[in-house]
Amino acid sequence: MTTTAAPRLHTGALLAVAVTVVAWASAFVAIRAVGASYEPGPLALGRLLVGALALGAGVLVSRRRWVAPTRREWGLILLCGLAWFAVYNVVLNAAEQRIDAGTTAMLVNVGPILIALFAGLLLGEGFPRWLLIGGGIAFCGAVLVGASTADTGTADVLGVVLCLAAAVTYAIGVLAQKPVLRRLPGLQVTFLACAIGAVACLPFTPGLLDDLATAPVGATAGLVYLGLVPTALAFSTWAYALARMDAGRLGVTTYLAPPITIVLSAVLLGELPPALALVGGAVCLAGVALSRRRSPIRSQIR
């Protein structure tokens, strides 16, 4: 019996990872398309409201009992909700109004290296040689991406900065979420974090109402898709996988998102990143991969 249970668990986690990566890759394309009709803040609020409603329904029909978070767990959930759900979504939406979906995906995916750096700085994990080497290479890649947009206006450079800010909030969210998943159900944690993010974005309500009144049906359908699939579904499958896999290994799987995003963007939007941005993005991802040769945070958040 035990020999058959382990493969099932492993297969379930891998399936959850696949769903997460594809859904998040599609989100970059959807945000780019919907952003023509919705401002960054209202788009984040609409997406999070839809996601919170869907996740709340999932919690209600779930057979798993509600587990009361401790004070420390509430603090980590609050941090995850504010950083990864609220701030991340707003800055990512703003970035994609300035640069294409593929470039955004490449830059945001320096997040795993930031997770390792934060763990070394804040959790006492240290700074292994490969982490420093990979970080330096990834930084050079980000500079190349920035250079590829420098001759098209300051707004594009600002977009690169916003992408890196999104990567920082992504890293903070993962570091805050992982310890909570040791005891609390993933669906419950995801719902609470999404609801907290939605509440934090409530000041954008007037803008959301204005955009809803003027946006075409297709754009509003895209907003609903962002709330249901890349938010409610993908963050739930991510939490499921994160509770069962090493965070370092799981972070590596997100490297598949940029190439998927580039293909989807080319097919659906007719957009491709500049050639130098493609080179810079490849350098970024190579640097992140090198930094994971010796995972510095596995023992801490496993």
pLDDT in tens, the chain (302 residues): 444 444 444 677 778 888 998 999 899 999 999 999 999 999 999 999 999 999 999 999 987 789 999 999 999 999 999 999 999 999 999 999 998 888 888 888 777 777 767 766 765 656 677 767 877 787 787 777 767 765 555 447 888 899 989 999 998 998 898 889 889 998 999 999 999 999 999 999 999 999 999 999 999 999 999 999 999 999 889 888 877 766 555 665 667 778 888 888 888 998 878 788 788 878 877 876 776 665 444 434 33
Both structure tokens of 293: 């040769």
Question: In this structure, is the dihedral angle defined by the CA atoms of residues 144, 129, 21 and 243, taken in order, positive or negative?
Answer: negative
Task: Give me the half-sphere count of Cα atoms (radius 13 Å) on the Cβ side of residue 131.
Answer: 19
One-character DSSP codes across 88-130: HHHHHHHHHTTS-HHHHHHHHTTHHHHHHHHHHHHSS----HH
Q: What angle do CA 86, 106, 120 make, to 5 degrees?
A: 70
Is 21 within 8 Å of 256 (Cβ atoms)?
yes
Residue written as tokens 């493609």? 278
Burial of 140 by CB count in 10 Å (0-12 exposed, 13-18 middle, 19+ buried)? middle
Q: How far is the C-alpha of 193 from the C-alpha of 183, rounded, in Å? A: 15
Q: Is the pTM of this model over 0.75?
A: yes
Residue written as tokens 């938010």? 231
Radius of gyration of the chain (CA): 19
